[in-house]
Chains A and B, each alone.
Chain A
Amino acid sequence: MNAPSFDYAALAPMLIVFVAALLAVLVEAFAPRARRFVSQVVLATVGIAGALFAVIYLATQDKAVTTAGGAVAIDGPALFLQGTILVLALLAVLTMADEDPESGAFTAQASAVPGSSDEAKAVRAGLVQTEVYPLILFSLVGMLLFPAANDLLTMFIALEVLSLPLYLLCGLARRRRLLSQEASLKYFLLGAFSSAFFLFGAALLYGFAGSVRLSDIDAAVSDGATATAATAVVGQDGLLLLGVGLLAVGLLFKVGAFPFQSWTPDVYQGAPTPVTGFMAACTKVAAFGALLRIAYVALPGVRWDWQPAIWLVAALTMLIGSVIAIVQADVKRMLAYSSIAHAGFILVGLLAMDRDGIGSVLFYLAAYGFTTVGAFALVTLVRTSTPEGGIGGEATHLSQWQGLAKRSPLLAFTFTLFLLAFAGIPLTSGFTGKFAVFSAAVDQAPWGPGLVLVGVAASAIAVFFYIRVIVLMYFNDSVGDAVTVTRPGALTIFAVGVGVVATIGLGVLPAAALQLANSSSVFLP
């Protein structure tokens, strides 16, 4: 038996982030406390930037390989998604690092019981939970591997590696720690539940195909004659269809699609806001990458069986996300329901099952990710004021956003831009993305025009609640001194600025990005 060969150049992005994560653990163990925060931030930034350069280098080489014994496929979609994830993660880390540790988003000591004397002591001592950065890096390794995984085992491992650090990160908020811990518990229990479904689905598909390699599953699907021994024992359709269904549960949970969306608002609201931004943008990109690969590489042969189900899921996800968002009174919850609706829109593009479909999904993910990171970075700036005139926790209730335009015109204007992009108004990236997925689906998806009608209706509903926030900010009276807008640091300004440039740029001049997405839309079999 031959040892599997490793193309280390192709794996370099993941390896660089992984090494940075390991070094970050060492820093945590050995560096003196005073220097930890700065070293962690520098290490994380350098690691992510290095990996980004490696991805760009690989993309210019224009080669597609499967490596690590066929377990990892570095092809066009994988590189595009890895690049997107790394850029978004870099922006998210910058917003995290920018906040003053003393009043930032993360708890001083996660192990101290909220409200206890231990916690007060930790706050007085100025402790900082710098473990956040290694956790982000480990999670990032999983996210980079997830869309590149070429067999179901690698995909499961990547799913867990990306999820486990995120469960912990959700529980590290500095304020409203009970909510944060509750979000962490809910995310963990439901996430573990759904990944168990994914694993059992993988077991059934292994029984069906005799291998967990995606291309082998495809071969077994299209060539029913060469059934494995197990299909003779158990029956072919039972194994295949049940396996596909259970696998879909695990993946649809991660992208937050109906009927597995209920964790999204709770977790997005409870988690520290910079983590929410990271999670909302990067997890969605990674999970849709995996979903695309399974749909296009492993299961194109049975698409007549799963397309109707995903059609229904997409339609209901768009409608439910848009309708329930209307009644939300919390900015973070509203953005969470908006992210559910966007998961539905992206599923529409997935259904097209051709190169246009892949390209439109890739473009949509990038466009949505930039807007999301920017929007959550802005949410961190709107704070309540303490009686002493200091800066309190985040003011996320919509009533606290009334009249924000009078106090901080620039913030209100930027947030308006992001909301218009979420709504899909022309000349923003959201419009281009929606147009791309809808036009791909109209031509190619089964009952595509019907699905697009549902999508347009959902977009119209969604416009209502985005506009409501804009009206609230511009035309209502200010709430007075109860809310302050903190001055953003240079790093946050940079992150939001990149978000703004991408949101407008991808809307006004989308040709280059669409070209890039379309040219990298070929999966290796």
Chain B
Amino acid sequence: MNQIYWIYLAVLLFSIGAATVLVRRNAIVVFMGVELMLNAANLAFVTFARINGNIEGQVIALFVMLVAAAEVVVGLAIIFTIFRTRRSASVDDANLLKY
């Protein structure tokens, strides 16, 4: 199978993730979009590692998973705190800071 399709898939997943971030209101879902983008990048790294025939891309994917996990810890803590304050995780409700 032509490996270029995996790159197309990665680009598609990245676009879906970016669209999720831009259009969804719930902070948790927005954050899921970011995670999808990171995983799309991982897929691209692994595919390029296969195409280029070196192992570096696979190693990078492991590091990225680790960073994504750390990001989840911090992100959920922030979203959870703001949810307890406002009883809402909608990013549209967080509108006090403007102008």
Closest CB in chain A relative to B59 CB, distance in Å: 8
- Distance of A188 Cα from B27 Cα, bound (Å): 10
Residues of B within 8 A of A230 (CB): 48, 51-52
- Distance of A156 Cα from B62 Cα, bound (Å): 13
Taking residues whose C-beta sits less than 8 angstroms from the other chain, chain B's interface range is: 35 or more
Contact B78 A199 (CB under 8 A): no
Taking residues whose C-beta sits less than 8 angstroms from the other chain, chain A's interface range is: 35 or more
Within 44-71 of B, Cβ neighbours of A (below 8 Å) are at 44-45, 48, 51-54, 56-57, 60, 63-64, 67, 70-71
Interface membership of A287, Cβ < 8 A: no
Contact B51 A233 (CB under 8 A): yes
Interface membership of A68, Cβ < 8 A: no
Within 47-84 of A, Cβ neighbours of B (below 8 Å) are at none
Contact B85 A113 (CB under 8 A): yes
Residue of B nearest to A205 (CB): B48
Which residue of B4, B30, B74, B91 contacts A167 across the interface (Cβ within 8 Å)? B74
Tally inter-chain residue pairs, CB-CB below 8 A: 136
- Distance of A156 Cα from B18 Cα, bound (Å): 19
Residues of B within 8 A of A199 (CB): 37-38, 41, 64
In the complex where A188-B75, A193-B34, A199-B64 touch, is A182 in contact with B70 (Cβ < 8 A)? no
Contact B27 A185 (CB under 8 A): yes
In the complex where A160-B71, A189-B30, A192-B31 touch, is A183 in contact with B85 (Cβ < 8 A)? no
Contact A203 B41 (CB under 8 A): yes
Interface membership of B77, Cβ < 8 A: yes
A-B contact pairs, 12 of them (CB 8 A): A167-B75, A171-B78, A178-B85, A179-B97, A185-B78, A186-B94, A193-B21, A196-B17, A196-B18, A197-B37, A203-B45, A328-B99
What 8 A-B pairs come out closest when comparing CB atoms?
A196-B37, A203-B44, A207-B48, A266-B97, A199-B41, A210-B52, A200-B41, A182-B94
Interface membership of A117, Cβ < 8 A: no
Which residue of B21, B40, B64, B82 contacts A181 across the interface (Cβ within 8 Å)? B82
Within 187-227 of A, Cβ neighbours of B (below 8 Å) are at 188-189, 192-193, 196-197, 199-200, 202-204, 206-207, 210-212
